[in-house]
Structure 1
Amino acid sequence: MIEDFPFYLSLIVTIVLLVMLANKIKVAYPVLLVVAGLLISFIPGTPRMHIDPELIFVIFLPPLLYEAAWAISWKELWKWRRIIGSFAFVVVFLTAITVAFVANYFIPGFSLALGFLLGGIVSPPDAVSASAILKFVKVPKRMSSILEGESLLNDASSLIILRFALIAVATGQFIWYEAALSFSWMVIGGVGIGLLIAWLFMKGQKILPTDANMDTVLTIVAPYVMYIAAEEVHSSGVLAVVSGGLLLSNNRHRFLSTSSRLRGVNVWESLVFVLNGLVFLLIGLDLPEITSGLEGVSLTDAIGYGLLITAVLVGVRILSAYGAVVVTLIARNYINVADTRNPGLRTPLVLGWTGMRGVVSLAAALSIPTHLYEGGPDFPQRNLILFITFIVILTTLVVQGLTLPYMIRKVNLPAYDDYLSEEEVEEQIRREMARHTIQYIMDNHNSVYERSSFLQQVHEKWKTKIEEEPEVKISSDVKTVYLDILNEQRVWLLEQNHKNKDFDEDIIRRHLLKIDLEEERLLLNH
């Protein structure tokens, strides 16, 4: 292992260079990383890579899911909960069933159970790829919210399918009521364990005398504790991390200090950057190991099977996107839906084309045991499933990843009015927060205000919206008042985000960050 350390170090440098190149040429970096890994694997002397599925599931997956849960808006997740839930659970299940029948009919030696196993592996789209691509094109906020929300949950549903399919292949039978009970426990247990552990971390960090470094370390430890605890009792580790991450994210201003929030953001951005880069590079590097186990079927036929399954996945997702529109248009007559308007034909097409697959699918395929049971016969079609999965990942990343920006620009998505424009929200927040702040000073700190030039200057700044002013030395009691004012602004912003559905939460978060930075500046300079 130690002799290959320079090689692994060079991979980190390669990731940085490739992401720089991707930003330069306006291509999603997962595409370049997978292709680069594929090319590197053909260089003579390159160490043979072996991806341990536990490495992905235990080391990589929890922090990536946790970071995504912190980044997503709970308001958006709840607003689009029906379509997110349908894509994350119903569409994943329908995709797995469709793949099962197609594989059983077209691929020799594939039973329905094996086809269902393959379907569970390749059914969940990868959110990292889609979000990386969407950075280069402008899409409606609703679409990015749906894709982000779906990505938080679809891994859990696909891994649940994988677990049931493995049992069906090994035993030759499927007992539906046992599967239903197991599914219920995986969902309820996973969510419950995640919320419980998140609550314990939240209370611990609020009560114990931690500092910014300790808080950051605890945020890194938390997703691993949630995932491992849930998996130990055979519930869903993915749902545990997602539910726990959402709870902590929505309470971050209650138990984390300003310094902890600011420093934690920097650490997490770097950590996720490296983890995402490594997993996509490893996909390409793992090709020699995947092809070396391919026996009993020609390479041409195996590629053909992979392309067939890819076409099925793309077709099912596009049809599901249109089906979701039809169901919504019917359901709006009986229940309240997020949007009663007809989105037309273009939006579902783009949503359906965003189904790039990623490293979770490859890790799931690699997790298939080599034998049906200990000392038993080889697991049927394991190597072919691995190869098909690789072809699906490579094809969707390269083909859909490169064409999605072009498609988005060509279809000219409608301009939905889900939110006020960014300029309107910014102006409204500045004006109303200034008015609220001035009133708060007059009502609660008038005596200190009368004798403090600093607070008078702050008052004047908010009154006239002047952003630059000379530095003024302030006393400890004035600093206490100013910190209280900043906290009041923070509370007001959080209330506005909760009450005003026309506000994009990303803008609210930017203003909260400004308050954190102002508070940090005050603590450091005075």
Structure 2
Amino acid sequence: MTGAGVQAEEGVFLLLLVFVVVFAGLARQLKVPYPILLVVAGLILSFIPGMPRIGLDPNLVFLVFLPPLLYSAAWTLSWREFQRNFVSIAMLAVGLVLFTIFGLAWAAGSLLPGFDWKSGVLLGAVVAATDAIAATSIARRVGLPQRIVDILEAESLVNDGTGLLALQFGLTILLNGRTPSFIEGIGQLVFLTCGGVAVGLAIGAVIAWFERWVDDGPIEIVISILASYGAYLLGTRLHVSGVMAVIACSMYMSRKSPEYMSSQVRLQATAVWDALTFILNGIVFVLIGLQLPYVVGQIVGISHTVLLEYGIGFSAAIIALRMTWVFGETYLAYAVKRWVQNLQPDKPQPRRVFIIGWGGMRGVLSLAAAVSLPYMLPGGRTFPQRSMIIYLAFCLIVATLIIQGLTLPWLIRIMGLSDSSHSTREEQEARRVLATEAIIHLHRARSKNRDTSPIFRELIDQYQHRLDTIPLEQEHTATGRNLAQRNEAVLAALQAERDALIRLRNEDQIDDEVLRTLQRELDLAESRMHTGSMTFH
């Protein structure tokens, strides 16, 4: 690569970072989820004369952006909620993908020019899967109830594997003229999914074992970044799902991290990963908007008005298709739980079901999958539907990100879905248990050491004030030997809280989200103590 080429790429990269910072800051002022504004900004910038043309390389998305973003999204995925919502997630991640593919394979030939059922299968595979990056980046920023966020995130993570598998089948049908049998398809799905999960769990187990002997923030942060790429690349090399490998590795390490990761490392890792995902997400969403000239420029012989009609009609049809399936599968899942599993689930609420259907946003993964389609078919023939598939995928991405993303907060408000009382109750109960465990530990420590100093008594009083929800504004100051003894007691009490918190999570009494919230408070409390500014939370 020449020096001029390197300088040009550096300039483009810096330009993208400037766009991300400026428009993300503007989104904060406007109180709009920054991914939406970044896509809009990219669309506007693409019309500016002299603007550098920045193409979307699918290899860049699959090999550079995807692994860490999947890893970050899976880290916050609740294992308890994943288990509880498994039927709904499976129906969305597998059933909806197949429903979309078959629906487009049946209808594409009569609705889109030059399409047959094979092209419809490819189009369905490209747009069927919701995007984990988009769901994670927007869902948490628009005030969605936690259970809906859990379902959307889990769906978008799992259906990446089914969507990419469907894309492989579609390419096999198009290039080889052979349609895989149903048994072959199920076998491939099981092999790719289970193989990817096995690879991810193996890597996670090895890293979790190794990290028990490492307590260094920068090293552990680098290891976590390497884990995302290592799981993806090893899974791909072994011809299993690299996406599922990353998800399984991240969920396993997230589950084990409270046992091997110190408070200081957790705080550092959280800050680094927040910055990394913000940068990668920002660049991804700006790149989506900047693709408009490429997408439209590849289609010839069709007027812009007709193209706009195709884009609007196709996007509306896919959204309607999702809404139809979501309502159907939700009530089917309810029937399965009640009549097959003999459970007594809550009756589905139409407003919640509607939000789940409306929250199925697409992102850069669909566009990268479309761009990765071949230009040529066997025999030297061109693949004429490739440009239209890319264009329709782009329209669907823009429509779901902008229209659905912008209307979600409004819909949540008018439907009254911003209630988080369940998580609040769990969090309050966890705080009560943690404070009680700390008090018990301090009483035992004082009795064991036969300590008559006021240190233990004052710490117990402070925890009791917390337990009684009475804020404490002053604390005992100690110096010399008393300070060291007090710090030791505080550290032991904080560790007792952590142990109780992990126990509550392992017994499924609290969610992983509650664990992370309270764990961060404990980490900050220990950090303040190390810096000499200890105040109880």
TM-score by length of 1: 0.92
Q: How many angstroms apart in 1 are the aligned matches of 2:63 and 2:34? A: 24
Match of 1:513 in 2: 520
Who is 1:434 aligned against? 435
TM-superposed deviation, 1:477: 6.0
Greater alpha carbon shift after TM alignment, 444-453 vs 5-14 = 444-453
* Map 1:383-398 → 2, pairs under 5 A: 383-398=387-402
User: Distance between the aligned counterparts of 1:38 and 1:338, measured in 2?
Assistant: 49
Contact 1:329 1:342 in 2 (8 A): yes
Question: How far did 1:480 drift?
Answer: 4.3
Q: Which amino acid aligns with 1:271?
A: L
Q: 1:484 aligns with which of 478, 492, 509?
A: 492
Tell me how far apart the structure 1 counterparts of residues 18 and 209 of structure 2 sit (CA, whole Å): 39
Measure how far apart 1:360 and its partner are. 0.6
Match of 1:262 in 2: 267
- The correspondence for 2:32, drawn from 24, 27, 51, is 27
Residue 113 (structure 1) aligned with residue 114 (structure 2): no
Equivalent positions of 1:360-399 (< 5 A) are 360-372=365-377, 376-399=380-403
Alignment-derived partner of residue 499 in structure 1: 507
CA distance in 1, matches of 2:155, 2:180: 28
Alpha-carbon distance in 2 for matches of 1:285, 1:137 = 25
1:440, 1:271 → 2: CA distance? 39
On the 8 A contact 2:334/2:348 being kept in 1, the answer is: no
Per-residue deviation, 1:344: 3.4
Counterpart-to-counterpart distance in 1, 2:369 and 2:26: 30
Moved more, 313-322 or 119-128: 119-128
Shift of 1:284: 1.1
d(CA) in 2 for partners of 1:379 and 1:317?
28
Q: Distance in 1 between matches of 2:78 and 2:453?
A: 39
Stretch moving more, 455-464 or 185-194: 455-464
Matched, 1:156 2:200: no
Where 1:376 maps in the other structure, the secondary structure is coil
How far residue 130 of structure 1 moved from its aligned partner, in angstroms, is 4.2
Query: For 2:498 and 2:232, how far apart are their aligned partners in 1?
Result: 32
Separation in 1 of the partners of 2:56 and 2:418?
A: 42
- Alignment partner of 1:168 is 2:169: no
Q: Is the CA contact 1:140–1:415 (under 8 Å) kept in the aligned structure 2?
A: yes
Shift of 1:36: 0.9
- In the TM superposition, what is the alpha-carbon distance from 1:404 to its structure 2 partner? 2.4
- In structure 2, the residue matched to 1:14 is 19
Deviation at 1:487, TM superposition (A): 1.5
Structure 1 residues 473-515: Cα deviation after superposition (integer angstroms, max 9, x where no partner):
34656644443332221010121233354x4543332221121
Q: Structure 1 residue 188 and structure 2 residue 194: aligned?
A: yes
CA distance in 2 between partners of 1:213 and 1:30 (Å): 28
The match for 1:203 is: 209
**d(CA) in 2 for partners of 1:102, 1:18:** 39
Look up the equivalent residue of 2:396 and give its one-letter code.
Answer: V
Q: Deviations over 1:279-329 (max 9, x none)?
A: 010011122222222235444333333323212211111111211232133
Query: For the residues of structure 2 that align with 1:410 and 1:524, how far apart are their CA atoms?
Result: 46
The 1:153–1:427 alpha-carbon spacing in structure 2 relative to 1, beyond 3 Å, is closer
Correspondences of 1:336-375 after superposition (within 5 Å): 336=341, 340-372=345-377
Structure 2 distance, partners of 1:111, 1:452, is 84
The verdict on how the C-alpha distance between 1:431 and 1:411 changes in structure 2, with shifts beyond 3 A counting, is closer
Deviation string, structure 1 residues 12-71 (Cα, Å, up to 9, x no partner): 122122122222223222221111111111222211111110110111111111111111
Q: Which amino acid aligns with 1:429?
A: A
Q: CA deviation at 1:254?
A: 1.6
Q: Structure 2 vs 1, CA of residues 329 and 198 (structure 1 numbering), >3 Å: closer, same or farther?
A: closer
Contact kept in structure 2, 1:62 and 1:238, CA below 8 Å: yes
Q: Is the 8 A contact 1:103 1:110 kept in 2?
A: yes
Instruction: Report what 1:59 is aligned to.
Output: 64
Mapped to 2, the partners of 1:515 and 1:414 lie a distance apart of 27
2:475 counterpart SS class: coil
**2: CA distance, partners of 1:452 / 1:61:** 56
Equivalence for 1:73: 78
TM-superposed CA distance for 1:444, in Å, is 4.4
- Does structure 1 conserve the Cα–Cα contact (< 8 Å) formed by 2:296 and 2:391? yes
Task: Give the stretch that moved more between structures: 358-367 or 119-128.
Answer: 119-128
- CA–CA distance in 1 between the matches of 2:337 and 2:41? 47
Return the offset for 1:336.
4.0
Closer/same/farther in 2, CA of residues 325 and 15 from structure 1, 3 Å limit: same
CA distance in 2, matches of 1:137, 1:337: 35
| Runs of 5+ consecutive residues of structure 1 not aligned to the other structure | none
Segments of structure 2 that go 5 or more residues without pairing to the other structure are: 467-471
CA distance in 2, matches of 1:428, 1:345: 30
Moved more, 388-397 or 276-285: 388-397
Q: Matched residues, percent identical?
A: 34
1:7, distance to aligned residue in structure 2 (A): 3.9
Does residue 285 of structure 2 align to residue 311 of structure 1?
no
Per-residue Cα deviation, 1:204-237 (whole angstroms, up to 9, x for no partner) = 2223x45111001111110100000001121111
The change in CA–CA distance for 1:299 and 1:319 in structure 2 (over 3 A counts) is: same
Aligned residues: 520
Higher alpha-carbon deviation: 460-469 or 149-158: 460-469
Tell me the CA shift for residue 443 of structure 1.
2.6
The alpha carbon displacement at 1:389 in A equals: 1.0
Q: 1:393, CA displacement in angstroms?
A: 1.1
Task: Name the counterpart of 2:469.
Answer: none
Q: 1:460 to 1:403 in 2, by over 3 A?
A: closer
> Which deviates more, 509-518 or 448-457?
448-457
- Give the 3 Å change call, closer, same or farther, for CA 414–47 of structure 1 in structure 2: closer
Q: Secondary structure at the match of 2:339?
A: coil
- Does the 8 A contact of 1:99 with 1:116 survive in 2? yes
CA contact (8 A) 2:258 2:502 kept: no
Does residue 218 (structure 1) correspond to residue 219 (structure 2)? The answer is no
Match of 1:179 in 2: 185
Check conservation: 2:127, 2:362, Cα contact below 8 A.
yes
Measure, in 1, the Cα distance between the counterparts of 2:58 and 2:108.
24
Does structure 2 conserve the Cα–Cα contact (< 8 Å) formed by 1:34 and 1:394?
A: yes
Q: Is the contact made by 1:80 and 1:338 (CA closer than 8 Å) also made in structure 2?
A: no
Q: TM-score, normalized by length of structure 2?
A: 0.90
Question: Secondary structure of 1:332's match?
Answer: helix
Q: 1:403 aligns with which of 391, 404, 407?
A: 407
Contact 2:46/2:289 (8 A) holds in 1: yes
Task: State how far apart, in whole Å, the 1-side matches of 2:457 and 2:147 are.
Answer: 42
Q: Tell me the amino acid that sits aligned with residue 222 of structure 1.
A: A
Partner Cα distance (1:386, 1:118) in 2: 9
Question: 8 Å contact 1:92–1:123 — kept in the other structure?
Answer: yes
* Aligned-pair Cα RMSD in Å: 2.5
Secondary structure at the aligned position of 1:174 is classed as coil
Helix, strand or coil for the counterpart of 1:254? helix
Task: Indicate the residue corresponding to 1:5 in structure 2.
Answer: 10
Are 2:338 and 2:345, in contact at CA under 8 Å, matched by a contact in 1?
Answer: no
